[in-house]
Structure 1
Amino acid sequence: MSESKKTREACCSKLKLFLASLAFVYFSKAFGGAYMKSSITQIERRFDIPSSLIGFIDGSFEMGNLLVIAFVSYFGAKLHRPRLIGIGCVVMAAGCYLMVLPHFFQGPYKYETSMSHSASVNSTETVLPCLSNHSVTDADAPDVSAIKACEKAAGSSMWILVFLGNMLRGIGETPIMPLGVSYLDDFSREENTPFYLACIHTVGILGPMFGFMLGSFLAKIYVDIGSVDLDSITITHKDSRWVGAWWLGFIVTGTVILMSSIPFWFLPKSLPKQGKEESQSKSTELSTMAEQENFLPEETQEPEEKPVTFKELAKDFIPSLRRLFKNSIFSLMVLTYLVVVNGFIGMITFKPKFMEQTFGQSASKAIFLIGILNLPAVALGIITGGFVLKKFKLGVIGAARVSITASVGAFCMLAIQIFIQCDNAEVAGLTVSYQGASQVSYNPQTLLSQCNMGCSCSMKHWDPVCAYNGMTYASPCLAGCQTSTGTGKEMVFHNCTCISEMNTPHSNMSAVLGQCPRKSDCESKFKIYMALSVLGSFISACGGTPGYIVLLRSIQPDLKSLALGMQTLIVRTLGGIPPPIYFGALIDRTCLKWGTKQCGGRGACRLYDANAFRYRETSPWLVIYQKHVYFKHLKRMFIF
């Protein structure tokens, strides 16, 4: 085998190794990111925090990016890009492991309950719900010093470690996209870049699939698995107080991310441009022959490359930024990404909770369906968009047209979803009156009625029971139940006086633990919603690769890494950090029943007003504005 052929094969194999390694990194980082999204509900319940705070924790990933992305994108392009990606993976893995620590520092999870449902209680012993509670008034509440001491003992501030770990994940993820894509684009054929990007993103989309599936699986496993007697747990994974084994997933994702860093330590700083290896090999052969025969003069030999100093790199940073933002196409594309991502991040963060509250699905099922339906549709859409560009050999204008068409189609699917809804879950005193009339009340006093007035019930606790009339009551006491039989999850409450207040006659005045299931027509509406959601995901993803090509082709080659980095910086700063926080704050305002922390005070929300939640989650006015800006600016850039 000739020397030139060996050189060509070596260069080709290294480019393919980088392509495969980058695809695996995209998979692993998406795996970890999707698992974090799928664990939002579990973390919120475990630390008894509101949606606005969990949105702040979720946004810490983007905060980590913000700290270093501008410098990594600019200086990293002039340094050893593969090794910087490897370092980033190690940092991401460290962040995942840091997020696990609160589980071991905190005590066992104690879910909110109005009374003891211990499985060890003898089945012949009768519990009297109506007489076992006492009203919790301001006078009965513990003093401030006692609350602080209790919270300190319970480790209520341990969520800060989750916040810091997620921020560390964001820092480590920084070099992957700008340095990886620019490295690939620099050394591959121009016509191959769209297909390579599509392949990377398609492999990467498998990460969220596995992440959501892992989140769904662990959401069914109790948080303190192995350290508590599961027979003593009276709630199931469908209960709003249930917390799954969220911490186990971060051990798994951290290990996968750490493994993905290995190949990048063995890749070179640069490669010959794909397609030019042969000419470069011939040139090298001629030069070698000339040197051997003394045909190459000494003064024509290439001088040794001098190392570039940090001062020289920094000197050109501000001028490069000026050149970049004078590019109107780049600036408008960044604005477009900003407004689109702003709505998407807020919506996807709370999508499992939305499905749980609006359609009565369990958190585990909601996460699972996103993983096996929505994400494969996104993967198919991404590869379809790349295939269309390659098949029809579309240029920048063609790519922009595909991207705009996909955006408009996805908006139409989202607009239709707004009208698919189920009624609120029927909870006495919150969404319906004790007589069965529809109402929505944010006032906890409506939990009291004539039927439970003599029971001295606490209005703070959430310990729902389902009566045989199909209505849910906030606790056995508020249902007016006089006696009970059975133990653990099998406990049944009898002689519940509030059941008789319903207008429909019911001879059975018993109730069982847990919320009542939704009406049968809600399941059919949910199937329609999921079909529209999957179709919308596919159409939206078809415009992903074309939009990316428009961005890449609109900037100068020497500014490519800086442009990708700045685009990521701006979009993640203004489009990634605020949405989970303000979406969470809006969602908190729809809460009908707040939980109570172990030490007193307001905990996580247990029940939302589904109709108000729906409008705050989808925010149709924001999406309309996003699509209007998207179309208007791209139309201005390209005559469409």
Structure 2
Amino acid sequence: MGDTEERTETHKIRCLSKLKMFLLAITCAYVAKTLSGSYMNSMLTQIERQFNIPTSVVGFINGSFEIGNLLLIVFVSYFGTKLHRPIMIGVGCVVMSLGCFLQSLPHFFMDRYEYESTVSVSGNLSSNSFLCMENGTQIFRPTEDPSECVKEVKSLMWVYVLVGNIIRGIGETPIMPLGISYIEDFAKSENSPLYIGFIETGAIIGPLIGLLLASFCANVYVDTGSVNTEDLTITPTDTRWVGAWWFGFLVCAGVNLLTAIPFFFLPKTPPKEGLTNNAEIVKNDQEEKQKEVKKEKDGITKDFLPFLKSLLCNPIYMLFILISVIQFNAFVNMISFMPKYLEQQYGKSSSDAIFLIGIYNLPPICIGYIVGGLIMKKFKITVKQAAHIGCWFSLIEYLLYYLCFLMICDNSPVAGVTTSYEGTHQDLYVENILTGCNMNCNCPTKIWDPVCGENGLSYMSACLAGCETSVGTGIDMVFQNCSCIGTSGNSSAVLGLCDKGHDCSLMLQYFLILSMTSSFIYSLSAIPGYMVLLRCIKPEEKSLGVGLHTFCTRVFAGIPAPIYFGALVDSTCLHWGTLKCGESGACRIYDSTNFRYIYLGLPAALRGSSYIPAFLILAILRKRRLPGEEASSGTVLVEAKVTGKENECKDRHQNSKVSNNDEWKTKL
């Protein structure tokens, strides 16, 4: 008898260690996949400038990840649990690594990045031909052979990034549903929310590392090592600056490849945690699992359509999908374009904007996930309670969100674009580039090469500022005798836009503090929200249900949201960059007021409409007495039947067999 107990205890320790090893491996996989995703989102502005494409095209590239994901998500969610889940996850990590590597390839196939400029990068020219020359003839750099211009404009190198992002989406597909369902199947039911909290923590650590990596890469010039950076006339705060976006993709490729290794050594079906204290239970459990596997092989697709029909007729489930689609539309837009918003609204560089997002937003979300999981475990939250927690915490955060409309900065004062040459406000969509002080300077009117005058006003170029001489080289170049800046004749200007001032920096701090607070409050509702999704459907339908939920959010939010939002952002552009032969490139400056209305207003409207179905769910749950609500101990598992009939909660051992397809984590 003692030998039997000793063998059972040894087996228990061994199987528990395997589950913990899988928990560690899947957490690392979440770190790797979210690292890649956050890095991609952070590099959208750099990709836009590198390939000189509008924001709508960049939004399409960003949404291509969802295209790859939705191609397989439903089938992987349903059929994946029948196969070796750890190996499938490992293969997915390898595919993600391949996608990241493909995204970096354009850098090695393209020529060096050339930004539009009226100033020679070789230093100070004795002729000063790029400055104001009355009745003179000037030749500026962006004049090339027309055939070369057409070739550059029609370049489709960004397609590599598009295809790589699709492949990355395909590789990410098995990680999400199969990893969570594996934990749900073989962990104690009361430990499952806590384990999910740990995995969610990994899903936050990954973006934090990704944002730090993106911040570093955005601060390094794209062609560093092959050009002399001392000759550059732009800085990271310039809208023409392109960071080393390709380097981070190589790092992501290596990290995803390393995380794939452990999954190829993990078992397909370890015994369920907590059920190994009796040898007879273990033996019966293995025999019943073998019968179930044989039954599944006999009719692997037999119940697919009935399950699908049952889900579509479940009112709580369908309302939950509607809420997710609406809110996902709002959050995809906010997350994807937040670095651009901080750049345009508060005058920060891409590197600083990405760094601030990582520092202020991600740690509170990480803490909120852990606290949410602990609350679910400690207080034994039921489905009704979880629904109320998720709804009201989300509503509180939504009301706080409106304070963002008060934290604003004015447009950068650019003569001829946002203000007149006298410094007074003008119609933002009517450029008055030429005026009396630069009319005879023979200046280009489309090239964006801004300088900041000592009067606090920015100008599109030193020539348009009426500057006649210059001293210094590279970024330290100073322009003098600028007729548009002042009447003294000694007025000077330096390269770059003027700083927005202390008041704008203060507004940025308020915005970041509010964003940090909102992130924490909203993250508290995440785990309860997942619980509602998991427990409102039958156990045997959970894997398919969550896969269908994810599929809907991809199709109706993940793919279209960045595209239409990018097009709306493009509509606020005040001045487009100019390629060779005069073709339009990436936007250089936006109307920050209209940009703010779109960036903050559209998500506010979308999220506001999502509370209508949320309150309907609370009303439906109020009229139903769900099974297990009055239980006094253990974590309660509740299934809201489509027919509305009541069910008895199954014991933990039985539930481990029927919930083999559990998966209740979706992309935030």
Q: Under a length normalisation based on structure 1, what TM-score does the superposition of the two structures give? A: 0.91
* Secondary structure, aligned partner of 1:401: helix
Alignment check: 8 A CA contact 1:359 1:523 kept: yes
The residue number in structure 2 matching 1:637 is: 620
The residue number in structure 1 matching 2:626 is: none
Alignment check: 8 A CA contact 1:30 1:208 kept: yes
Give 1:409 deviation, angstroms. 1.4
Question: What stretches of structure 1 of length at least 5 have no aligned partner?
Answer: 289-299
Larger CA deviation: 566-575 vs 618-627? 618-627
* Secondary structure, aligned partner of 1:484: strand
Alignment check: 8 A CA contact 1:127 1:485 kept: no
Whole-angstrom CA distance in 1 between matches of 2:291 and 2:58? 54
* Secondary structure, aligned partner of 2:462: coil
The residue number in structure 2 matching 1:180 is: 179
**1:604 corresponds to which of 560, 582, 586:** 586
1:129 aligns with 2:111: no
Larger CA deviation: 551-560 vs 199-208? 551-560
**1:492 corresponds to which of 448, 459, 478:** 478
Larger CA deviation: 309-318 vs 538-547? 309-318
Deviations 1:592-638 (A, max 9, x none): 11101245300000100000000111125524534423532332332
Deviations 1:461-496 (A, max 9, x none): 000001000110001111111111221112111111
CA separation of 1:220 and 1:326: change in aligned 2, threshold 3 A:
same
Alignment check: 8 A CA contact 2:100 2:164 kept: yes
CA separation of 1:594 and 1:134: change in aligned 2, threshold 3 A:
farther
Whole-angstrom CA distance in 1 between matches of 2:324 and 2:594? 27
CA separation of 1:283 and 1:597: change in aligned 2, threshold 3 A:
same
The residue number in structure 1 matching 2:102 is: 98
Whole-angstrom CA distance in 1 between matches of 2:285 and 2:609? 57
Whole-angstrom CA distance in 2 between matches of 1:462 and 1:413? 38
Question: What stretches of structure 2 of length at least 5 have no aligned partner?
Answer: 624-668
CA separation of 1:526 and 1:301: change in aligned 2, threshold 3 A:
closer
Give 1:303 deviation, angstroms. 7.9
Whole-angstrom CA distance in 2 between matches of 1:187 and 1:430? 63
Give 1:98 deviation, angstroms. 0.3
Q: 1:560-571, aligned counterparts within 5 Å?
A: 560-571=542-553
The residue number in structure 2 matching 1:51 is: 55
Give 1:374 deviation, angstroms. 0.5
Give 1:233 deviation, angstroms. 1.1
**2:354 corresponds to which of 367, 374, 379:** 367
The residue number in structure 2 matching 1:268 is: 267
* Secondary structure, aligned partner of 1:148: helix
State the one-letter code of the partner of 1:566: L
Larger CA deviation: 35-44 vs 382-391? 382-391
CA separation of 1:323 and 1:117: change in aligned 2, threshold 3 A:
same
Whole-angstrom CA distance in 1 between matches of 2:152 and 2:571? 27
Q: 1:462-481, aligned counterparts within 5 Å?
A: 462-481=448-467
Whole-angstrom CA distance in 1 between matches of 2:452 and 2:223? 26
Give 1:317 deviation, angstroms. 2.1
1:30 aligns with 2:34: yes
The residue number in structure 1 matching 2:401 is: 414
* Secondary structure, aligned partner of 2:551: helix
CA separation of 1:17 and 1:128: change in aligned 2, threshold 3 A:
closer
Q: In the comparison of the two structures, how many residue pairs are matched?
A: 614
State the one-letter code of the partner of 2:563: I
Whole-angstrom CA distance in 1 between matches of 2:276 and 2:478? 77
* Secondary structure, aligned partner of 1:422: coil
1:332 aligns with 2:319: yes
Whole-angstrom CA distance in 1 between matches of 2:425 and 2:474? 32
Q: Which runs of 4+ in 1 moved over 4 A?
A: 124-128, 132-136, 140-143, 283-288, 300-311
Alignment check: 8 A CA contact 1:133 1:455 kept: no
Please, what is the CA RMSD of the aligned residues?
2.4
Deviations 1:370-420 (A, max 9, x none): 111101111111112112222222111111111011111111121110121
The residue number in structure 1 matching 2:254 is: 255
Whole-angstrom CA distance in 1 between matches of 2:564 and 2:285? 64
The residue number in structure 2 matching 1:164 is: 163
Deviations 1:68-101 (A, max 9, x none): 1111111112111111111111111000000010
Q: Under a length normalisation based on structure 2, what TM-score does the superposition of the two structures give? A: 0.88
Give 1:306 deviation, angstroms. 6.9
Deviations 1:138-164 (A, max 9, x none): xx9976x55323446xxx310000000
CA separation of 1:62 and 1:150: change in aligned 2, threshold 3 A:
closer
Whole-angstrom CA distance in 1 between matches of 2:38 and 2:183? 25
Larger CA deviation: 570-579 vs 239-248? 570-579
Whole-angstrom CA distance in 2 between matches of 1:285 and 1:181? 25
Whole-angstrom CA distance in 2 between matches of 1:86 and 1:430? 53
Alignment check: 8 A CA contact 1:329 1:637 kept: yes
The residue number in structure 2 matching 1:541 is: 523
CA separation of 1:114 and 1:308: change in aligned 2, threshold 3 A:
farther
Larger CA deviation: 585-594 vs 306-315? 306-315
